[in-house]
Chain A
């Protein structure tokens, strides 16, 4: 049975973290020191300095606020430098998140800030304490991701994940497909599945805008997409990678497109404007409200999110065996006939529900908490 934590704003979390969020890079060390001795809280670090005139201030603030307001977070401890960082506290409150602010300027530096913040964090842990309750599946939002793809991705793990995604959507949950650079070549096929012609047009425009931006840079993306690892894994072109990547989203109708870190307004399958970079993408998904990520990998990647369980699915059994403890499910049996797309699809669905309901994923066990914020300028 799916269980989670009901939130005051009507959303449901599948974890109940207290997040220590530095408002800018100069607060990273204080945030890290707070979390160092408090296992019940999790800190992230990022590279944004909030320098005056940064053209990315809007998207970064939206991402950090969305991440902190994710329903997997019961409370946020925001470490600011001074009042210039208060915008982020307002954004978190506006999204219905419980937030306490500790300003470094009021404590004379990093170490004394961390000491003061530790007491606040302990209070937040108590204030955010909650028990799991039966959760409606319509409240679940799952990110669909692939990283380190190989020639098997489009044959085994991705279509099996597509089956799980279709079932989630049919039951009323939401899933989000991203990785726009890896949808190049699949735009017509995806647009034909949009719930309205207008949304179909939005999908085509989203993918075209990326291709346009790349042409504007006057560069060839072939050094980056497919990556050297993809090529070693048997992928030859970005089109081949894309058609395989798109299969993660099954066959369901597409309800809409989302900006980076944007939240779906309804339920169903959405496409988010994210880069192919695994961590920038996962942070965008989580900032947009995904409580859970399903992540297929051909080359083998151990990464996870600081606040969201990430169910890792290998496309081949060799990588599953080679990285013990890093990958949750092996879809490699499909290639040798010991499993079918349907059977692995069901395993993925079951693992997602179990992870949401409290079973720790491999990346959580290892403490993988990678974090990266997309820049657009």
Chain B
């Protein structure tokens, strides 16, 4: 019997990409702007990322941090971005907004110093987010071809990886497998690469993480791990032949790219973990 291809449903972006979600993201360029970003998002339907970075990076670490933040804003599940900066940070919010905008993603920018402090920046940010969200809510979704779906796998050292990649490809999707990063850092790489969906393989008592804007299908790789945190996993994959496990995971991926919420989306986990390449100055 031929395997049915994925039928992902989502949103066409001006830059030719497609998202399976249509989020407004409030992205702080620096830790100092996280409170304002969160308060803006809390008052609206937007998602905010909280992170600890953006200032006093150097060298490769600066490039990596900047590229990661930019990549998160460019993820096709994000319909619009509000960049919130402070105004004196190393990774300047305004130039990050310009970089994202140059890739034809809708971006606005609020700088806390220029806006006139916390209260004024939150008020300005809310106005912008409400207007952008109204635009996003008017957008209609459609079915797109499975070849435009990029599924991310967060590890390479699991026996399920090879059958899973094969299964995804049989159903028409492209797959990216992270090598050399683990956990949250792997998710960040995949989201920045443009994956619309992440499959996270967790064994040995690993607890699953979520990601802002990018659904994470959390797969427990052993019974003990699954039992321990059953509510936070989407499914357990163990005890069966790996081919059957891969098919189960792929079935769930098919549902999630047609709108089914993952466990991480239901509980509202928007974890952000950046792996640092050198110390902060």
Contacts and interface: CB of A to CB of B under 8 A. Distances in A.
A345 interface: no
Nearest to A47: B273
Interface stretch (A61-69, A334-342, A364-372): A364-372
A374 interface: yes
A290 to B, nearest CB: 19
Contacts of A376: 279
B272 interface: yes
A108 interface: yes
B58 A375 contact: no
Interface in B221-266: 227-232, 263
B205 interface: yes
A110 B273 contact: no
Contact of B32 (A105, A225, A302): A302
Contacts of A110: 231-232, 267, 269
A228 B272 contact: no
Contacts of A223: 58, 62, 90
- Give the residue among A110, A322, A325 with the most B Cβ atoms within 10 A: A110
A109 B207 CA distance: 9
Contacts of A221: 58, 281
A275 B231 contact: no
Given A27-B207, A49-B209, A233-B88, 14 more contacts: A49-B182, A108-B228, A214-B58, A227-B55, A229-B89, A277-B56, A278-B32, A279-B52, A280-B52, A303-B31, A325-B117, A325-B118, A368-B118, A374-B279
A228 B116 CA distance: 19
Contacts of A81: 205, 207, 229
A302 B89 contact: no
Contact of A375 (B86, B271, B279): B279
A119 interface: no
B92 interface: yes
Nearest to A280: B280
B246 to A, nearest CB: 25
Interface in A312-328: 319, 322-326
Interface in A110-168: 110-112, 147-148
A367 B35 contact: yes
12 contacts: A26-B209, A49-B183, A104-B228, A105-B205, A108-B230, A109-B231, A148-B87, A218-B59, A303-B31, A366-B118, A370-B35, A371-B52
A228 B90 contact: yes
Contacts of A47: 51-52, 184, 272-274
Contacts of B229: 81, 104-105, 108-109
A128 to B, nearest CB: 25
A326 B118 contact: yes
Contacts of A254: none
A26 B31 contact: no
Contacts of B34: 370
Nearest to A148: B88
Contacts of A303: 31-32, 35
Nearest to B51: A47
Interface of A: 24-29, 33, 45-47, 49, 51, 81-82, 84, 104-105, 108-112, 147-148, 181, 213-214, 217-221, 223-225, 227-230, 232-233, 275-280, 299-303, 319, 322-326, 366-376
Contacts of B232: 104, 109-110
Contact of A224 (B62, B118, B271): B62
B210 interface: yes
B59 A219 contact: yes
Contacts of B141: none
Contacts of B35: 302-303, 366-370
Interface string B30-45: 0110111001000000
Nearest to B273: A47
Interface in B124-150: none
- Give the residue among B34, B118, B183 with the most A Cβ atoms within 10 A: B118
Given A223-B62, A300-B117, A49 B273 contact: yes
B105 to A, nearest CB: 24
Contacts of B62: 223-224
B278 interface: yes
A110 B216 CA distance: 15
Contact of A225 (B118, B228, B281): B281
Nearest to B35: A368
A29 B281 contact: no
